[in-house]
Every structure is written in structure tokens, then in C-alpha cells.
Amino acid sequence: MAEPPKHLRRLDRTFSRSPVYFVTTTAAGRKPVLNSAQMQAIFEEVWKNGASLYGWSVGPYVIMPDHVHFFCRAGRDEAVTLGAFVGKWKEWTSKFAHRRLGNVTPLWQQEFFDHLLRSEESMREKVAYVMQNPVRAGLTDTPENWTFRGNPGNWGIRDGCL
């Protein structure tokens, strides 16, 4: 059998069973309303519920003032699509923020960005990059000092590293 073209060889280096996606979603109008302890608690609650309701688990994340980065993967075969999971997460975080905090809706822009991570190396690089985001934005001096980050799932990740 002939070897695949060079540009397609990377396709065999994907996570075997449960690919990891890097997701970014932005607040409506890029309003800086996301980085608070109350919003973080809502995000984590809905992510936790998303594992049982929609079949997706969330790993490392960083909450910036006007956007959120998180890593997720389907935890079971009958999981909903990535789009459905992110849509439900945005729907429920928006509802809870409105009900509990009086935030104006809509909370989110309609779209989101996702990137399929093809290897653990790629994931390590992306996680390290995301954890540095608050430092690059001048919001903190070190990633460890940024309160609005975490790893709600048990992915064997400490301080943003595998």
C-alpha cells in the first residue's frame, strides 16, 4: 500500500478514541462581564452538568473579561455534537447569569471558534498558550495568579500541563 501524501500523514496522529477540542467563545459586544467569581461558578456548574446531560467533559479553561477558552471532549458514544454542547452551555450560562446576577441577555455572541487537537503535544502547547493569555493581556503577572482559570475535569493536568 502506498504511503499517503505528506500533507495527510498527520491525520493518523489524532487522539484515538476521544478527540479534544479547543473552544473559544466571546461575550456579546465583547463586553467585559465574564471574569468574576460568580460567573466562574456558573460556568463550572454548567460544565459539570454538561458531562451527565450531554456527554462532554471540560478540562483546562481560562476566563478572560470578554471571552472564554476551554478544552473539551466527548465522554461517551452517545454524546451530542460539539455544536449542541457548546450551544447548551452558552444557553444555560446565559440563563443563570440573568437569573442569579441580573446580567443583560444575550450574554454571548452567536458563533464560537473550535479547533481539533490532534495530539497530546498539540494539547500541551495550546494549554500553555491559553494559560498565558491573562499575562499577555496585562491582567496578571503570572498564570498562577489569575483566579479565573481551572481544570474542572480529571484529565491528569496540573497547572495547565499534562
Domain that holds residue 73: 18-150
Considering the domain boundaries, does residue 159 fall inside one? no
Specify if 4 maps to a domain.
Answer: no
| CATH code of the domain in which 36 resides | 3.30.70.1290
Tell me, yes or no, whether 107 lies in a domain. Answer: yes
| 6 lies in some domain | no
Task: Write the pLDDT tens digit of every residue in 68-79.
Answer: 999 999 987 789
The answer to whether 59 touches 155, Cβ cutoff 8 Å, is yes
Domain count of the fold of the chain:
1
Kindly state whether residue 162 falls inside one of the protein's structural domains: no
* Distance separating alpha carbons of residues 30 and 61, to the nearest angstrom: 18
pLDDT along the chain (162 residues), means of 10: 58 63 96 96 94 92 97 88 96 96 91 91 90 96 94 56 40
Distance between CA 17 and CA 43 in Å, rounded? 26
CA pair distance 85, 5, nearest whole angstrom: 34
106 in a structural domain: yes
In a domain, 158, yes or no: no
pTM of the model: 0.85
